[in-house]
Amino acid sequence: MMWLWPVVARRDLPPRETITGMKTGIVFMGLIVLLLLAAVLPIAGDRSAAALYHSPVMILLLGLLAGSCVWCCCRTKRSGWRLIGFLLAHLGIVTVLAGGMLGFLFGMRAMVRMPVHDERPIDTVMVDGQRQVPLGFKIAARDFKIAFHPPTYVRWHPLPPEQVGPGEVPFREGQAFETGKAGPWDLGDGQSLAVSNLWNVFRSEWVPQYSLPDGSILAISQQTPSFFGFTLVVIEGEGRSEIPVAVNQPASVGGWIFYLMSYDAQARSYIDISARRDPGRGAVIAGIWMIIGGVFILSFRRTEETTDAT
């Protein structure tokens, strides 16, 4: 890395001051960004460059960046509000990196498939597909619920047998109808259909297909969930609590965070949840707020000083 020396060196500073200066920190961040970009580049075959995220080179660069920030905080000659902003911004970076390292070293992640028709409590999860880790409590799932956006139906017309080749579908795709529109559908040839005929009141869902008198079929073309969630049952000793969980609405219990990932689209008999434990999450959040506060203070004071100077 001797090629970096002309970029970061300053003749008026000793070498120790040079390698911990602002330019060096910028170089460290630039190299980190390059590694992050390289990690998403496609590679021939089944190989992945994502391993660069956890490579010794990445860890070394992050450590050097954190060390440079700490050294700058120790050597700064700023005072007053600018000192507070400077320390918050730089130590916030260190706090974020420290929290990320804690999560990397001690964090755990597991995927859990849980039935929803009957409560089957579990008290362990398989982490990284290798070892069972106790949760410290039991969890179960029940009351799975799902709602959909109004679907679109497509009319399929039957074809004469002589027009159907081997392996071909004996129907021809026709007009699409949107259930979100009010009023009966005009099917042509004097036929009409009330949209309510496609709603199953017992299951509270749209029927997958509907047969018409002329032999054609109305089939759901696409139906996107607008919401799906369940109730997470937490059992700790003799106590029992229930927490609603949905997409982008996780549940936090005992240091674990449970995210709803997917569900059984056919029978709706199970759900897939992601269980994560990250001891550095709080430090990362605190560090982000430190950086925001520090940058705000530095920007505010700089603007004020510029105004006074003019």
Q: What is the CATH number of the domain that holds 134?
A: 2.60.98.10
What's the burial of 85, exposed, middle or buried (CB within 10 Å: 0-12/13-18/19+)?
Answer: buried
CB 179 within 8 A of CB 150: yes
Tokens 């130590």 belong to 91
- pTM (global) more than 0.75: no
Same domain, 208 and 218: yes
Same domain, 56 and 22: yes
The pLDDT assigned to 34 comes to: 84
What's the whole-number mean pLDDT along residues 4-14?
45
Query: Cβ contacts of residue 259 below 8 Å, gap of 6+?
Result: 250, 273, 274, 276
What's the whole-number mean pLDDT along residues 35-47?
70
Same domain, 159 and 201: yes
Q: Which helix (H) or strand (E) covers residue 28, if one does?
A: helix 22-38
CB 301 within 8 A of CB 82: yes
Tell me whether residue 22 is in a domain. Answer: yes
The pLDDT assigned to 167 comes to: 79
Q: What is the average pLDDT value for the chain, to the nearest integer?
A: 82
pLDDT category of residue 95 using cuts at 50, 70 and 90: very high
As for how many domains the chain has, the answer is 4
Tell me whether residue 192 is in a domain. Answer: yes
Same domain, 71 and 1: yes
- Count other C-beta atoms under 10 Å from residue 41's C-beta: 9
Tell me whether residue 82 is in a domain. Answer: yes
Tell me whether residue 101 is in a domain. Answer: no
Tell me whether residue 112 is in a domain. Answer: yes
Residue 283 DSSP SS3: helix
Tell me whether residue 289 is in a domain. Answer: yes
The pLDDT assigned to 87 comes to: 92
Higher pLDDT, 57 or 289: 289
Same domain, 140 and 272: yes
Query: Tokens at residue 189, please?
Result: 């040839």
Tell me whether residue 103 is in a domain. Answer: no
Same domain, 251 and 205: no
Same domain, 154 and 219: yes
Domain final residue, candidates 223, 240, 256: 223
Residue 104 has pLDDT above 80, yes or no: yes
Same domain, 184 and 212: yes
Indicate the residue type of 246. A
Q: Which domain holds residue 64?
A: 1-75
CB 104 within 8 A of CB 78: no
Residue 79 has pLDDT above 80, yes or no: yes
The pLDDT assigned to 195 comes to: 85
pLDDT category of residue 6 using cuts at 50, 70 and 90: very low
Q: Which residues pair with 145 in a beta bridge?
A: 229
pLDDT digits (tens, 9 = 90+) for 120-167: 888 898 887 778 889 989 999 988 988 888 888 898 988 888 887 887
Higher pLDDT, 21 or 284: 284
pLDDT digits (tens, 9 = 90+) for 245-269: 998 899 999 889 999 999 888 888 8
What's the whole-number mean pLDDT along residues 23-49?
74
Tokens 């004020």 belong to 304
Same domain, 118 and 232: yes
Calpha distance 142→145 (Å, rounded):
9
The pLDDT assigned to 310 comes to: 41
CB 144 within 8 A of CB 156: no
The pLDDT assigned to 309 comes to: 45
The pLDDT assigned to 292 comes to: 94
Q: Which helix (H) or strand (E) covers residue 230, if one does?
A: strand 225-236
Query: Tokens at residue 235, please?
Result: 């059992």
The pLDDT assigned to 277 comes to: 92
The fraction of the chain above a pLDDT of 70, given in percent, is 86
Same domain, 2 and 71: yes
Same domain, 1 and 141: no
Tell me whether residue 102 is in a domain. Answer: no
Same domain, 116 and 127: yes
